[in-house]
Every structure is written in structure tokens, then in C-alpha cells.
């Protein structure tokens, strides 16, 4: 499936969409499909400091708990309230369901992330295992 061109991707299957110095973060369609029915999402509070590559929360399916990894460093400015009441929305539309918004401490970190094409390649290799 084509991954939206307006964002970058991580090997932990998060996406990050940048708008100036702020960014929106979510998980990819590949992630939601691998997880199965999502029943619970644990996100940080507004004001929390995130460090690129470190865990910032968890997403739970019926069967398992998976860590969420910060694609970039910065401060959380908003959390999607829908996640608490309707986590299944992430299954229905992963790319349209945002988890948090943040200010970016170091926008150059994004240079190291995957383009949509590179992510698609990465996913194809992962799925092949």
C-alpha cells in the first residue's frame, strides 16, 4: 500500500508529519495490521519530554503490548483524546489517526528517518521473513 508522501517513517513503524517546528505522530498501517485489534493506547501527558528513539508509550492489542518509540525529540503539546475511548479507530485508519503533537527540539533528526518509498521497501522485507 502506498504510504502518504507528506511524512517520514521509522523502523519501529511510526510516522511523523512535520509542519514548521511542530510535528504530528502516529503508527503506520503495517503496524496496526500486525497488532490486530487495538484495545488500549498509553500516551504521555502534555508537557512530557520525548527523546528520539526512546519509548514514549504503549499500544496494546488483545494479545500483546507493544512499545511506541519517539521518532524525534521534543515536547508533547497535544494528545488525541479519541485514543482513550475509541482505540479501534487506529485499526480503521492508521494514517488518519494521530496520537500526539509535539514541538521539535532538533528538526535535523528527521533527516535520518525513512522516506515513504524506503519505508515501503523496509516493510516488504520485514513481511517477507
Binding region for other proteins (CB under 8 A): 33, 36-37, 39-40, 58, 60-63, 65, 84
DSSP 11-25: TTSEEEEEETTEEEE
- Distance of closest approach, residue 91 Cβ to other proteins, in angstroms: 9
Return the number of the residue (35 or 104) whose C-beta is nearest other proteins. 35
7: number of Cβ within 10 Å: 23
Return the number of the residue (12 or 118) whose C-beta is nearest other proteins. 12
- 56 burial via Cβ count (<10 Å: 0-12, 13-18, 19+): buried
- Distance of closest approach, residue 62 Cβ to other proteins, in angstroms: 4
Amino acid at each position: 500500500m502506498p504510504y502518504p508522501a507528506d511524512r517520514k517513517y521509522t523502523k519501529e513503524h511510526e510516522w511523523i508529519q512535520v509542519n514548521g517546528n511542530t510535528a504530528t505522530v502516529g503508527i503506520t498501517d503495517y503496524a496496526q495490521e500486525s497488532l490486530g485489534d487495538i484495545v488500549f493506547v498509553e500516551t504521555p501527558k502534555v508537557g512530557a519530554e520525548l527523546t528520539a528513539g526512546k519509548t514514549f508509550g504503549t499500544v496494546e492489542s488483545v494479545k500483546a503490548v507493544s512499545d511506541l518509540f519517539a521518532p524525534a525529540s521534543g515536547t508533547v503539546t497535544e494528545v488525541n483524546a479519541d485514543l482513550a475511548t475509541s482505540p479501534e479507530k487506529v485499526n480503521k485508519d492508521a494514517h488518519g489517526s494521530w496520537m500526539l503533537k509535539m514541538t521539535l527540539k532538533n528538526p535535523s533528526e528527521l533527516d535520518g528517518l525513512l522516506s515513504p518509498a524506503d519505508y515501503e521497501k523496509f516493510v516488504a522485507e520485514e513481511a517477507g521473513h
